[in-house]
Structure 1
Amino acid sequence: MNLDPRTARHGRSAGRPFWSRYLGGRRLAGGPVAFRLLAALLLPMIAVGPVLAIGSPRPAQQASDAGPQPAELRVALDDNYPPYSFRNADGTHVGIVKDLWALWSQKTGVAVRMMPSDWNLARQAMDTGAATVIETIFRNEARDALYDFSTPYARVDVPIWFSSDLSGITGVESLRAFTVGVKDGDFCIEWLTDQGITAFQRYSGFEVMVDAAARQETRVFCMDDPSANYYMTKRGVQGRFRYTDPLYTGELHWAVRKGDAALHRLISAGFDRITPEERKAIEQRWIGRSLGGVSPGLIDLLLKLLAGLVVLGIGALVWGLLLRRQVESKTESLRTAVAALTASEERVRTIFDSVNDAIVIHDLDSGAILEVNRRMKEMYRVGNVPLSDIDVGMLSSGTPPYTAEVAADWRRKAGDGEPQLIEWHARRLDGALFWAEVSMRRAVIDGNDRRVLVLIRDITERKAAQERMEYLSRHDALTLLPNRVLLQDRTEQALARAERNGRLVALVACGLDRFKTVNDSLGHAVGDALLRATAGRLKAAVRDTDTVSRSGGDEFILLLSGLPDVDAVVETVASLHERMAVPFEIDGQELTVTLSSGVALAPADGKDFATLLKNADTALHHAKAAGRDTHRFYAEAMNTEAVAHLSTRSGLRRALERGEFLVHYQPQVSLETGAVIGAEALLRWNHPDKGMVPPGAFIPIAEDSGLIVPIGAWVLAEACRQGAAWQARGLSLSVAVNLSALQLQRSDLVRTVTGALDGSGLDPLLLELELTESMLIQNTDVVMDNLRRIKAMGVQVSIDDFGTGYSNLSYIGRLAVDKLKIDRSFVADLTSNHDSAKITAAVIQLAHGLNLTAVAEGVEDAATLAALRQLNCDVAQGYFLGRPGPADAVEHAARQVNPFKVGV
């Protein structure tokens, strides 16, 4: 909407019904009978028309004066402005303006096509010529250059609305600490901007903004009074908001393009043909009926009743005069005494009700409320509820320590002669909570000393101001992140915990590279938005137990606590830099910024906050000096380790893209026949500079970084392809693939396995997936669902490294696991350690008891192989039976007859 500042005014008198201007603002139903009868007779004579009148109230003009009539008028207007123009529950456009234009069309014979839409689109339709008339528009000087306006037909107050749990919102000056919700394109944006308010949250319409306010996405918002009342009542949230005095009062018009005098005259003449009664009927349909005229039959009946009452009144008057003469002399003295007593009581009651604090008188014995003043009824929203129906416990929030029992204890202390002054969390009868300052003391009333006088002062606004001041004293005003004061407190707590549990604590000082360029070229508003977006990304990159703070300017400080080792710090720092590499979308502009960071570790680099912060800043300075978009540790040794870690991490990303990975296969041998029956797929990395990198050097980093998921999917597909190739050459060799914990917990694991099988054509019975015992107790629901679905496909499942962790045997039974692989640590000591031999024998017996295949890993010599055969182990693998190597070596061994001399 747009508003002419010359018409803006404060106050709400413009929206009052017309009869309130004649009858002193009183409701007609509230006066005496005679007044109501008189009003009923006079109202039809003074009711000259409804408040709402579209078009100017000048005499009707002839159609010929308006010039040639167009075939159709196209009227653009806002469809989010009840009761004038809005959409009902099924999306149909309705409202006062639509009905009046329909009546205008009937009167003039000119077709009218309504074009309800978003306000900005309505303006565009008018400015591009798609519409000939624009409705529900405010007038200002800029619009006067574009349009010819009608006389105003309605006045609308525009206040600031805010959540009822806020306080201190009184006008424009109090908005400077808030982001104000506004309807996109609304005049309120221009008006507030002129007042120096620039922080806005824009919404497509009033209804959307009310929904957002109900969800507390916006706490302070600007909205026209009628629309706010309509949508808040529609949503049932009107009790959750308060409002200020109007910022301004706008006037609604219709308008045509500048200079189109003929069209303006035509429209005005058409509206002049609409009678006051017709306008009033339309208004009553959307606003509701007010008390208007009274039917002649009812007037006759009322006059007859009035006549009867007059006769009865005269008789009663005569009778009263006779009685009055008889008792006058006897009651004169009593009247004087009563008058004096009444005056005294009225003075006391006036004082009692005029006190600005709530007053409650309690009976100590029963706990009941005996008396309250007017302020108490207002404060607790008692309404017409009798005092006898109010349980004292209802007036406490009920959240410890603010319970009815604690309140009763306070009253008992006051009754024993100990005055009390407390802050209390109270509850109004409608359920709303507020803060109160409560004073209690014993009182003697009518000779009874078992009374407690309670004075209650609403301190909600004071409490909210204190809490906000305390919050701002410990948080950054722009990003709402903890500031250095709160960061220091949390760091000292983290250091104390780390000293007890032996974990690491890290302070990471971060700075945006060349942030000043953004501020200088795009302005501080964009710079502030970038800082808020950066704060969000930094918080998303760390754990909930870590702290992200802003120390000022473009510098942020991260507190990472409870870290197991330096690798965890390196992973977090790497994640920060990766997230910052993604461009930001700020006010429709794409911004790319980089991050420099410095890391100090406790206790190595300092055992207190000041030392750690100084060393982290020093490391940040070195990072910026090294060319920015990098990080540095305060300790040089940590830099070397971090560089190696990140180098491996970066190399892993490139390795998958460049095809540097390969799969070796280690044969698995049946101890019953001596034949090769399958192979385990083992990942190898052939680095172009370092050569063959051992798995232990890169697998943990791949798991920490999440790269194990795409790498594992590649290994699975490659192993299935090789198994299918063996199958095509007449060899039924099973292929075993290790799953990582991350893969097993992903919801797309089944799709990955299905894709590998379908893409290769491998029989699912020849695929075996290996998982460790610990995986069965991590994210059990997802893991169990994945395994059930994989088993349903016919894929085999084995438990790797069995005996080293915790196994829930019920899971193994329910999942119908196919194999148990005995950990190599037991197999290696089988012939030299009695305990290892007993454990190995027990696992084999357990496997056979569950109808599972027992597989021994790490067979390094003939003695171990013989011992396993004696224990009836089913399958074995190890260097003695074949080292991991190319698939051709496994195929060659599989084609040999009894390669391991079984039965010879």
Structure 2
Amino acid sequence: MSLGPRIANHGRSAGRPAGCPRLGDRCLAGGLAVLRLLAVLLPTMLAGGPALAIDPPLPALEAEPQPALEAEAAKLRVAEIRVALDDNYPPYSFRNADGTHVGIVKDLWALWSQKTGVAVRMMPSDWNLARQAIDTGAADVIETIFRNDARDVLYDFSAPYARVDVPIWFSSDLGGIVGVESLRAFTVGVKDGDFCPEWLTDQGITAFQRYSGFERMVEAAARQEMRVFCMDDPAATYYMTKHGVQGRFRFTDPLYTGELRWAVRKGNVALNRLISDGFARIAPEERKAIEQRWTGHRLGGVGPGLIDLLLKLLAGVAVLGIGALVWVLLLRRQVESKTESLRTAVAALTASEERVRTIFDSVTDAIFILDLDSGAIIEINRRMAEMYRIGDTPLPAIRVGMLSSGQPPYTRDEAAVWIAKAAEGEPQLFEWHARRLDGTLFWVEVSMRRATLDGNDRRLLVVARDITERKAAQERMEYLARHDALTLLPNRLLLQDRTEQALARAERNGRLVALVACGLDRFKTVNDSLGHAVGDALLRAAAERLKAAVRDTDTVSRSGGDEFILLLSGLPDADAAVETVASLHETMAAPFQIAGHELTVTLSSGVALAPADGKDFATLLKNAGTALHHAKAAGRDTHRFFAEAMNAEAVAHLSTRSGLRRALERGEFLVHYQPQVSLETGAVVGAEALVRWNHPDEGMIPPGAFIPIAEDSGLIVPIGAWVLAEACRQAAAWQARGLPLSVAVNLSALQLQRADLVRTVTGALADSGLDPLLLELELTESMLIQNTELVMDNLRRIKAMGVQVSIDDFGTGYSNLSYIGRLAVDKLKIDRSFVADLTGSHDSARITTAVIQMAHGLNLNVVAEGVEDAETLEALRRMGCDVAQGYFLGRPGPAEAVERAARQASPFKVGA
């Protein structure tokens, strides 16, 4: 076993020493080399030797009876101790290459179990899952935990058994990170559930990128997904070394030094004492042996026997060397005159070769020589082996293509072009995305020119310089040149570029583009009263809310101070811009929680639409700014469009939207019912529930004036749920009074696509006690065209409950009879446009007759709506229609009117 480092010599031939062409010279050189080696090694070994990591087996432990602890365990009825711990915390607890859980803590608990006779079940997992296990009682003990005031409330802690430094790690191309204050401009990578984010939050740092484990964090940092992170020193050292990135990061002085402990749930004194007594039985030397197993220890020195052996060996070698020296001197006298000239030439040649090799290996850039005929790399320097991590790979096995990332535009074909040009005598200089032999990628600057070696001019001399840090700094500078440094939002330069692209697309496809200038109202008050740190945090939080309120295809940028510019592209109409502006104001209305302060900030906004308000970025930005100025002049917390006509329309739209929200809160909605009559008996058999808005100032508002706005804003979902519950309650009341009338409720497309629709219907039926057979849900054909899995699943589950389903406005949409069969629809409602022309249009009559016959062929009932006169009613009866409704049979009204009509004996009897 070699104790020294393995040194790879690539491309060099082993030759004899200069001036030693014969056997005597080799013996002399060999003897002197042995003497020099022993002279160097002996003092080192006598002094104790270098620190070496060794893996001694754990000392054999004899099982000894522990009556006291066994009695205590029996008293507690403890047959097994469950220990939850993080499996991502080397060297204390981690998983090796094959996934086996190992580490200091596991071995300590195994020894504890042997000492106490109590079984131990280790539960290694993600740290958050370990915390959940102890908190929910799924585990008895939690390991490798730091102690603080908040955790003292939950746990009883052991004495510390290790101390761990926790610094901030950062990419080596960054500067100026010296402590907590310097982290405020960065998002800090942390392990989810770790103590570090708690500590940093107490210091006012709240911008975190969370990862499930330390190794995931190191992998993300290696990919440059984040540049600054907090990690315990032992884990960082282990994982950075494992992934070969230890040279790419620097670290600060420790933020704090944590103490590793184990803990039990608060108040579990007996279990705490049992565990503590068990660990007290572990001798210090036993604990030290376990720790040295995972951290290594120093070689203790060389024994006396070995020293005697080395001295005897040294004496023998010395005698041998002296004898060889005498023999060589005698031999040298005989040949000295004949070999002097040859020795001089060889010495000069060797010295020259050594100087060239020294220079070759001392260059800080990677150098290799490429054979153009074979494509093989025939010579490399030491830096090349280090940079590309060649290791033991033989040079003939390495091809230039293996050193390329292969990612466009840095393809092997492009490399072939550069090689061909260099082979023709044209030097090449280019940047290249390279790949090491271990698969990691980095950037190099490559210089390539033709070279002649040993008379062969089919060689290329290639010099590669690692520019990864320079590229990273360059990319960061380019990023910051197009983004705001505080919020990382696009700045005005990038916004202009995206706006010009959006305008070009909009001109081709006939869509609209909007620029929305937004300002946080009275933001200066926050800065002046709470400080710039709180103000900056508020700006970052506001930026996140604005991004959440728009589509992924839109752009949120910061123009400076408290102002943001939003680019809304590909809008179908101006109403879409109105809806987005309304969402922005609603999003910003909720209070912000910033550094312990609850802050409420309102928004003023100005909107310019293209092409009406401008066809280029500069004009749109100026007009949006003008509109924002008018919004602030109007009292803030509002918006203005640059076009005055749009303001009136938007104000009306937003007024209705706000009124709908208040109407829900104040109970301004009511349900009217329109009777449905059997054409066979003339009796009322059901009613359709229709929502009405009784505005306190404007009176009854027709559905057409508010239903579209409710659908656009999403308020149709809570309104629809209320109508459903109210209709079920009324139908249950009719049923209780001996009138089993069905009630039909319209569903909106938004309701049908929600995952909670079945729960809403179930709740309405359960709360009212209505028989599901008396509830009918109406949907239009257009809703079925989407045919999403969620829609179909919702309808199947509703049908399984016994609820009736009908297709409203049948014949006006894209009818697909396969839906009717798959969903087992119960009714078809003929659209009123056919019913209105039934007696005056042969086409309408034929279509209506065909729909009725088709429905009956499918065992479906048919409902005709929009019946306005007796002639139409009689025509429908002759055609075989089952049920009708319309103003002739009864206008929508209170439930009492339907009940009165239902109690009459066949009030609508038609025909003979």
Q: Equivalent residues in 2 for 1:11-410 (5 A)?
A: 32=37, 35-43=40-48, 118=146, 121=149, 161-163=169-171, 167-169=173-175, 172=178, 178-179=185-186, 181=188, 200=205, 212=217, 214-215=219-220, 219-221=227-229, 225-226=233-234, 228-230=236-238, 239=245, 242-244=248-250, 284=292, 287-296=295-304, 331-410=339-418
In structure 2, do the counterparts of structure 1 residues 119 and 770 end up closer, same or farther at CA, with 3 Å as the change threshold?
A: same
Q: Which residue of 2 aligns with 1:547?
A: 555
The Cα of 1:419 is off from its aligned counterpart by: 3.5
Letter in 1 for 2:248: R
The Cα of 1:780 is off from its aligned counterpart by: 1.0
Letter in 1 for 2:827: K
Preserved contact between residue 513 and residue 569 of structure 2 (Cα < 8 Å)? yes
Q: Distance in 1 between matches of 2:104 and 2:307?
A: 41
Q: Which residue of 1 aligns with 2:603?
A: 595
Q: Distance in 2 between matches of 1:900 and 1:784?
A: 38
Indicate the SS of the match to 1:668.
strand
Q: Which residue of 2 aligns with 1:498?
A: 506
Task: Provide the aligned length of Structure 1 versus Structure 2.
Answer: 776
CA deviation string 1:339-367 (max 9, x = no partner): 22222222333333333332232233332
More displaced stretch, 564-573 vs 442-451: 442-451
Pick one of 802, 805, 813 that aligns with 1:797. 805
Pick one of 875, 886, 889 that aligns with 1:878. 886
In structure 2, do the counterparts of structure 1 residues 829 and 436 end up closer, same or farther at CA, with 3 Å as the change threshold?
A: farther
Q: Distance in 1 between matches of 2:257 and 2:696?
A: 76
In structure 2, do the counterparts of structure 1 residues 845 and 43 end up closer, same or farther at CA, with 3 Å as the change threshold?
A: same
The Cα of 1:322 is off from its aligned counterpart by: 6.9
Preserved contact between residue 218 and residue 239 of structure 2 (Cα < 8 Å)? no
Pick one of 480, 487, 494 that aligns with 2:495. 487
Q: Distance in 1 between matches of 2:246 and 2:880?
A: 76
Pick one of 794, 801, 808 that aligns with 1:786. 794
Q: Calculate percent identity across the aligned residue pairs.
A: 76
Letter in 2 for 1:179: F
The Cα of 1:864 is off from its aligned counterpart by: 3.9
In structure 2, do the counterparts of structure 1 residues 634 and 182 end up closer, same or farther at CA, with 3 Å as the change threshold?
A: closer
Preserved contact between residue 178 and residue 199 of structure 1 (Cα < 8 Å)? no
Q: Which residue of 2 aligns with 1:459?
A: 467
Q: Distance in 2 between matches of 1:131 and 1:755?
A: 47
Q: Distance in 1 between matches of 2:209 and 2:747?
A: 49
Indicate the SS of the match to 1:699.
helix
Pick one of 811, 814, 827 that aligns with 2:835. 827
| 1:608 counterpart = 2:616 | yes
Q: Distance in 2 between matches of 1:132 and 1:728?
A: 67
Q: Distance in 2 between matches of 1:250 and 1:818?
A: 70
Pick one of 723, 726, 730 that aligns with 2:731. 723
Q: Which residue of 1 aligns with 2:583?
A: 575
Pick one of 414, 428, 451 that aligns with 2:436. 428
Q: Which residue of 2 aligns with 1:449?
A: 457
Q: Which residue of 1 aligns with 2:541?
A: 533
Preserved contact between residue 178 and residue 220 of structure 1 (Cα < 8 Å)? no
Q: Distance in 1 between matches of 2:318 and 2:814?
A: 100
Indicate the SS of the match to 2:806.
strand
Q: Distance in 1 between matches of 2:144 and 2:717?
A: 52
The Cα of 1:336 is off from its aligned counterpart by: 2.9
Indicate the SS of the match to 2:494.
helix
In structure 2, do the counterparts of structure 1 residues 731 and 246 end up closer, same or farther at CA, with 3 Å as the change threshold?
A: closer
The Cα of 1:225 is off from its aligned counterpart by: 4.8
Indicate the SS of the match to 2:173.
coil
- Give 5+ residue unaligned stretches, structure 1: 1-30, 48-78, 99-113, 138-155, 254-274
TM-score (norm 2): 0.75
Q: Distance in 2 between matches of 1:276 and 1:800?
A: 82
The Cα of 1:397 is off from its aligned counterpart by: 1.1
The Cα of 1:528 is off from its aligned counterpart by: 0.7
Q: What is the aligned-residue RMSD (CA, Å)?
A: 4.5
In structure 2, do the counterparts of structure 1 residues 568 and 252 end up closer, same or farther at CA, with 3 Å as the change threshold?
A: closer
CA deviation string 1:614-654 (max 9, x = no partner): 22222222222222212222222222222211221121112
In structure 2, do the counterparts of structure 1 residues 803 and 706 end up closer, same or farther at CA, with 3 Å as the change threshold?
A: same
In structure 2, do the counterparts of structure 1 residues 246 and 501 end up closer, same or farther at CA, with 3 Å as the change threshold?
A: closer
In structure 2, do the counterparts of structure 1 residues 170 and 591 end up closer, same or farther at CA, with 3 Å as the change threshold?
A: closer
| 1:627 counterpart = 2:655 | no
The Cα of 1:329 is off from its aligned counterpart by: 5.5
In structure 2, do the counterparts of structure 1 residues 95 and 675 end up closer, same or farther at CA, with 3 Å as the change threshold?
A: closer
The Cα of 1:95 is off from its aligned counterpart by: 12
Q: Equivalent residues in 2 for 1:745-764 (5 A)?
A: 745-764=753-772
In structure 2, do the counterparts of structure 1 residues 807 and 421 end up closer, same or farther at CA, with 3 Å as the change threshold?
A: farther
Q: Distance in 2 between matches of 1:658 and 1:170?
A: 57
In structure 2, do the counterparts of structure 1 residues 241 and 763 end up closer, same or farther at CA, with 3 Å as the change threshold?
A: farther
Q: Which residue of 1 aligns with 2:697?
A: 689
The Cα of 1:230 is off from its aligned counterpart by: 4.5
In structure 2, do the counterparts of structure 1 residues 779 and 385 end up closer, same or farther at CA, with 3 Å as the change threshold?
A: farther
Letter in 2 for 1:43: G
In structure 2, do the counterparts of structure 1 residues 246 and 310 end up closer, same or farther at CA, with 3 Å as the change threshold?
A: farther
Preserved contact between residue 673 and residue 687 of structure 2 (Cα < 8 Å)? yes
Q: Distance in 1 between matches of 2:771 and 2:288?
A: 82
CA deviation string 1:791-849 (max 9, x = no partner): 11111112222333335544432222222323333333444455545544444444344
Q: Which residue of 2 aligns with 1:109?
A: none
The Cα of 1:677 is off from its aligned counterpart by: 2.4
Letter in 1 for 2:249: Y
| 1:739 counterpart = 2:739 | no
In structure 2, do the counterparts of structure 1 residues 417 and 774 end up closer, same or farther at CA, with 3 Å as the change threshold?
A: farther
In structure 2, do the counterparts of structure 1 residues 810 and 292 end up closer, same or farther at CA, with 3 Å as the change threshold?
A: farther
Q: Distance in 1 between matches of 2:823 and 2:212?
A: 53
The Cα of 1:442 is off from its aligned counterpart by: 3.1
| 1:639 counterpart = 2:647 | yes
- Give 5+ residue unaligned stretches, structure 2: 1-35, 52-84, 96-100, 110-141, 260-282
Q: Which residue of 1 aligns with 2:569?
A: 561
In structure 2, do the counterparts of structure 1 residues 95 and 793 end up closer, same or farther at CA, with 3 Å as the change threshold?
A: closer
Indicate the SS of the match to 2:245.
helix
Q: Distance in 2 between matches of 1:300 and 1:779?
A: 90
Q: Distance in 2 between matches of 1:83 and 1:660?
A: 60
The Cα of 1:673 is off from its aligned counterpart by: 3.9
Q: Which residue of 1 aligns with 2:81?
A: none
More displaced stretch, 711-720 vs 449-458: 449-458
More displaced stretch, 776-785 vs 378-387: 776-785
Q: Distance in 2 between matches of 1:247 and 1:809?
A: 73
TM-score (norm 1): 0.75
Indicate the SS of the match to 1:551.
strand
Q: Distance in 2 between matches of 1:249 and 1:686?
A: 63
